[in-house]
Structure 1
Amino acid sequence: MSTDPSVTFDAPPRLDAEADVVVVGAGACGLVAALRARAQGAEVIVLERDASPTGSTSMSSGFVPAPATHFQRAIGVDDDTAARFTADIMAKSKGLSDAALAGLAARSIGPALEWLADTQGIDWIVLDDFLYPGHSRHRMHAVPEKTGAALLARLIAAAERADVPIVTDARACGLFIDDGRRVTAVEVTRPGGAREIIGCRALVLACNGFGGSRDLVRRHIPEIADGLYYGHEGNTGDALLWGEAIGAGLKHLTGYQGHGSLAHPHGILISWALMMEGGIQVNAQGQRFSNEHGGYSEQAVHVLKQPGGIAWNVYDERIHRFALGFPDYQEAVGAGAVKSADDVAGLARATGLPEAALALTLDEISGLQRGAGTDAFGRDFTGKPGLVPPYHAVKVTGALFHTQGGLTIGADARVLDRDGAPFPNLFAGGGAACGVSGPEVSGYLSGNGLLTAIAFGWLAGGAAARG
């Protein structure tokens, strides 16, 4: 029997269980929605297709941008506002983001993080040792462990404390919708093929985007269709397919988050902080090919255009020691992905890069760092110390992380139809909903994924509980 997402415009034949709010997906978006709905007195069930919640949240850096929080003020950032953050989002996408959604996310994320801290015990720190590309203030929040896996673990623990059941090995495969366009039930497949039908008063789609469906990626984002997918394989576009079937509005399906720094072949994310601290990327000829400060998302496309679809991150001991503060980088060191050498000749031998070209590139950026000349790619090197031996390098490739387009939603994360009218009890957030990055890869501002997961999940949970 097929498990492809289906919609039945009729009453369910039976109900095996019921809840006020059913949430599809146990990532950051789904768990925040569930916690908010439960806090408002709703009975909630979270459906998770995997044997244990993992997904895109656990694979991410776990960093969440938010303005005007008391966590920022505690470290002296007291001039950030939702309006400033919205302006940064719109500037990164060159004005192509949905301005209403950008403003909604920017206004909601700070209260959402503070609510998670005050009511759910989720601790936040603000990263203030560097600015991520496109952000005008230090506003990147993280749990103390500074990983997405730790963020997800803390949300799962909060759900357990709140008595929110997370039903695993439960693939939501079908929706039942009545003639008033209300979702009345969700059909679930279980291991071995058994099926259950769960009734609901409201449904929250938090099942991410369609990056795990090669067919959908090729249809909507052909420029990255041949790139490596560094996301959860379960992100197969169920929300998108359901939306198409019920006449929901869909927007910015060509938008996505890429990343130009995935260790190859190890598959370990190398933080873009290395570039922001002064590192460079060179291709197999030992030459730079772009402005590394433009943004890590669009850098995926630049890297994939290089010979073999690879590049090398090149940096020095100062940056290496800085990067050791990131768990992913520690993992890369342990896996042998980081090559080290005392001089240019040694680095060329360790990486296979041509020594003469690599030396010339390093000489050029040394001059740029001293203020001699202008970078052909438009990067300003004068704000950080120059690169000096010993050197380090990591071979990387470009990858698709997750899609940014999806179902259109209103101010309470309620799904809208193609004419802009709301469905009565259907909500979406995170990768299931249209995000704030616009229609192009270059529109992705650092943290936009978890921004909309948590902000829109928080809004969806509150509205779903109210009915």
Structure 2
Amino acid sequence: MTQDARSRRVQRTVAAFDAEAKASVAIVGAGACGLTAALMLHDAGIDCVVLERDAHPSGSTALSSGFIPAPGTQVQRAHGIDDSPERFAADIQAKAHGRAAPGLVSAYAEAIGPALDALQARHGLNWLVLDNFLYPGHTVHRMHALPQKTGAALMAALQSAAEAKGVPVLTQALVETLWLDDADRVQGLAFRRPDGSEERLACDALLLACNGFGGNTAMVRELLPEMAEAAFAGHVGNDGSAILWGRALGARLRDLGGYQGHGSWVTPQGALMSWAVMMEGGVQLNGEGRRFHDETQGYSEAAVKVLAQPGGLAWNVFDTPLLALAREFPDFREAEAAGALRRCDTVAQLAACIGCEPPVLQATLDALHVAGPQPDGRAFRRGLSAPYFAVKVTGALFHTQGGLDVAPDMRVLRDKDRTPLPNLLAAGGAAGGVSGDAVWGYLSGNGLLSAVAGGAIAARTAAALIAKEKQT
């Protein structure tokens, strides 16, 4: 556990909270969740302050692909795609084997489309729908992205929107202490500045939009032992702050065994290769030149399967048409520029690249041309043909999906009776998501779904709480 994480605490006060400043809503974390909430609060005429630990906001969002699943958006309808929140919710639960929180699934599925439309109409985020392939578990094309197709571009757009609206984002502000009264009402928070000084901010409502715990080695070993030795491809700020605060104040925690892994982390370059290549006919081979799972089941659970192979390594193998698809994604182009791509004109060259026996590899590739399903259930529309391309990958942990248990309005729930705390909200990585409690429950895009939909819902709830407070 980091020193930063050990400093997270909750203080109780019966006196008036003494602070240098006050905001109607304080938001901890300036990722997609926190900035979405801040923009929605601005639209509602509610002042807020966003506190960010880093000098430049980035977090898990900037490291992601920046793809957000949503039904019924304007751009989806413009493409003639028939979708609905109910269909999306069914896809989420199908992937999670029915183990995702039903109320939260419905809330996110209903909120995400209007949230993306609002970000486009009021804040200039112009979405496109990725309609040339389906991600695992989605029954229609509903993955949205900005034209650059990167999480960094998404973060830049949200930051620009916040700056344009004058939303205050206070960077290098490491929130350490939450102050509550004896009725569990948040009074404010204390944050540490780079010079070691402490400042305090009072608030009428607090949104934790900060992080998961993927960067907290001790928590990962405790809660996700199968990923204890995996590469962590997330942001180091994912130190479990929300969980530590939650434990200290008696909040309920949920789905701590849920997380997003990825079975296509390019090594040693340390980059992500899009799973679209697998969905459209690429294969993963181990060091013996054999396939070892049905790649179309999902990239999250693939992480565990790849790590179980000799050396925790695999090879993504594909051909020329799939290379063209891969090159549509900036992450792959960066990995290729860094030397990750191997071209092999023959099976013998590919075998030498992988380090396997040519006859074994030949049998594996021949099987791809056979009509009907493979022993693992996957059926191929076509086989692969020379020249072959290969990229060495491992399994990685991207971000966790468990966290504070929240009601569908994003208010944090008490552990003892599951009633909501008066004015404490959590969303995004700080809250339990909609992936259930295991790696295979992660539907592509669930992370940013939780961030953007959760941020929008939290803003609506906070605005309602403040309006009610003014009436009393």
Q: Identify the TM-score tier after normalising by the shorter chain.
A: over 0.9
Tell me the SS of whatever aligns to 1:73.
helix
Tell me the SS of whatever aligns to 1:191.
coil
The one-character-per-residue Cα deviations of 1:348-403 (angstroms, maximum 9, x if unpaired) are 23343432222221111122xxx1x5311111213xx3211111010000011111
Task: Give yes or no for the alignment of 1:24 onto 2:21.
Answer: no
Task: Give the Cα–Cα distance (whole angstroms) in 1 for the partners of residues 344 and 224 of structure 2.
Answer: 39
**Structure 1 equivalent of residue 66 of structure 2:** 62
Tell me the SS of whatever aligns to 2:159.
helix
**Structure 2 equivalent of residue 375 of structure 1:** 374
**Cα contact 2:366–2:383 (8 A) shared by 1:** no
Identity of matched residues, %: 53
From 389, 405, 417, the counterpart of 1:392 = 389
**Cα contact 2:262–2:299 (8 A) shared by 1:** yes
Q: Which moved more, 1:61-70 or 1:351-360?
A: 351-360
**Structure 2 equivalent of residue 415 of structure 1:** 412
Task: Give the Cα–Cα distance (whole angstroms) in 2 for the partners of residues 183 and 265 of structure 1.
Answer: 45
From 437, 441, 455, the counterpart of 2:453 = 455
- Structure 2 unaligned blocks of 5 or more: 467-472
**Structure 1 equivalent of residue 136 of structure 2:** 133
Q: Which moved more, 1:284-293 or 1:355-364?
A: 355-364
Task: Give the Cα–Cα distance (whole angstroms) in 1 for the partners of residues 227 and 378 of structure 2.
Answer: 25
- 1:62 alignment partner AA: G
Matches within 5 A, 1:280-295: 280-295=283-298
Per-residue deviation, 1:103: 1.1
**Structure 1 equivalent of residue 264 of structure 2:** 261
Per-residue deviation, 1:12: 6.9
Per-residue deviation, 1:342: 1.4
From 251, 274, 294, the counterpart of 1:248 = 251
**Cα contact 1:12–1:197 (8 A) shared by 2:** no
**Cα contact 1:413–1:456 (8 A) shared by 2:** yes
- 2:71 alignment partner AA: P
Task: Give the Cα–Cα distance (whole angstroms) in 1 for the partners of residues 197 and 107 of structure 2.
Answer: 40
Tell me the SS of whatever aligns to 1:319.
helix
Task: Give the Cα–Cα distance (whole angstroms) in 2 for the partners of residues 436 and 344 of structure 1.
Answer: 42
**Cα contact 1:257–1:403 (8 A) shared by 2:** yes
Matches within 5 A, 1:175-254: 175-254=178-257
**Cα contact 1:339–1:351 (8 A) shared by 2:** no
Task: Give the Cα–Cα distance (whole angstroms) in 1 for the partners of residues 303 and 224 of structure 2.
Answer: 13
Task: Give yes or no for the alignment of 1:425 onto 2:385.
Answer: no
Task: Give yes or no for the alignment of 1:173 onto 2:167.
Answer: no
User: In structure 2, do the counterparts of structure 1 residues 12 and 402 end up closer, same or farther at CA, with 3 Å as the change threshold?
Assistant: farther
**Cα contact 2:313–2:393 (8 A) shared by 1:** yes
**Cα contact 2:61–2:155 (8 A) shared by 1:** yes
**Structure 2 equivalent of residue 154 of structure 1:** 157
**Structure 1 equivalent of residue 435 of structure 2:** 437
**Cα contact 1:252–1:405 (8 A) shared by 2:** yes
**Structure 2 equivalent of residue 93 of structure 1:** 96
Task: Give the Cα–Cα distance (whole angstroms) in 2 for the partners of residues 92 and 443 of structure 1.
Answer: 5
- 2:386 alignment partner AA: P
- 2:46 alignment partner AA: A
Task: Give the Cα–Cα distance (whole angstroms) in 2 for the partners of residues 354 and 176 of structure 1.
Answer: 63
Matches within 5 A, 1:319-330: 319-330=322-333
Task: Give yes or no for the alignment of 1:310 onto 2:313.
Answer: yes
From 54, 78, 82, the counterpart of 1:74 = 78
Q: Which moved more, 1:244-253 or 1:146-155?
A: 244-253
**Cα contact 1:258–1:400 (8 A) shared by 2:** yes
Task: Give yes or no for the alignment of 1:39 onto 2:43.
Answer: yes
Task: Give the Cα–Cα distance (whole angstroms) in 2 for the partners of residues 434 and 253 of structure 1.
Answer: 8
Tell me the SS of whatever aligns to 1:105.
helix
Task: Give the Cα–Cα distance (whole angstroms) in 2 for the partners of residues 411 and 349 of structure 1.
Answer: 54
**Cα contact 2:365–2:383 (8 A) shared by 1:** no
Task: Give the Cα–Cα distance (whole angstroms) in 2 for the partners of residues 257 and 73 of structure 1.
Answer: 29
**Structure 1 equivalent of residue 357 of structure 2:** 354
Task: Give the Cα–Cα distance (whole angstroms) in 2 for the partners of residues 430 and 374 of structure 1.
Answer: 38
Task: Give the Cα–Cα distance (whole angstroms) in 2 for the partners of residues 267 and 245 of structure 1.
Answer: 36
Task: Give yes or no for the alignment of 1:341 onto 2:344.
Answer: yes
The one-character-per-residue Cα deviations of 1:204-257 (angstroms, maximum 9, x if unpaired) are 100121111011111111111111111001111111111111111111001101
Task: Give the Cα–Cα distance (whole angstroms) in 2 for the partners of residues 24 and 9 of structure 1.
Answer: 19
Per-residue deviation, 1:167: 0.9
**Structure 1 equivalent of residue 469 of structure 2:** none
Tell me the SS of whatever aligns to 1:366.
coil
From 83, 87, 106, the counterpart of 2:86 = 83
- 1:157 alignment partner AA: S
Per-residue deviation, 1:13: 6.2
Per-residue deviation, 1:9: 0.7
Task: Give the Cα–Cα distance (whole angstroms) in 2 for the partners of residues 452 and 253 of structure 1.
Answer: 15
- 2:425 alignment partner AA: F
Task: Give the Cα–Cα distance (whole angstroms) in 1 for the partners of residues 379 and 288 of structure 2.
Answer: 23
Per-residue deviation, 1:84: 0.6
Tell me the SS of whatever aligns to 1:45.
strand
Task: Give the Cα–Cα distance (whole angstroms) in 2 for the partners of residues 374 and 40 of structure 1.
Answer: 53
Q: Which moved more, 1:2-11 or 1:98-107?
A: 2-11
The one-character-per-residue Cα deviations of 1:318-374 (angstroms, maximum 9, x if unpaired) are 10011111000100110000111212122223343432222221111122xxx1x53
Task: Give the Cα–Cα distance (whole angstroms) in 2 for the partners of residues 349 and 26 of structure 1.
Answer: 47
Per-residue deviation, 1:173: 0.5
- 1:377 alignment partner AA: D
Task: Give the Cα–Cα distance (whole angstroms) in 2 for the partners of residues 13 and 110 of structure 1.
Answer: 39
Task: Give the Cα–Cα distance (whole angstroms) in 2 for the partners of residues 226 and 101 of structure 1.
Answer: 31
Tell me the SS of whatever aligns to 1:233.
coil
The one-character-per-residue Cα deviations of 1:29-59 (angstroms, maximum 9, x if unpaired) are 0100111112211221111111101110000
- 1:298 alignment partner AA: E
Task: Give the Cα–Cα distance (whole angstroms) in 2 for the partners of residues 124 and 420 of structure 1.
Answer: 37
- 2:64 alignment partner AA: S
**Structure 2 equivalent of residue 108 of structure 1:** 111
C-alpha RMSD over aligned residues: 1.3
Tell me the SS of whatever aligns to 2:296.
coil
Task: Give the Cα–Cα distance (whole angstroms) in 2 for the partners of residues 396 and 196 of structure 1.
Answer: 44
Task: Give the Cα–Cα distance (whole angstroms) in 1 for the partners of residues 436 and 357 of structure 2.
Answer: 39
- 1:461 alignment partner AA: A
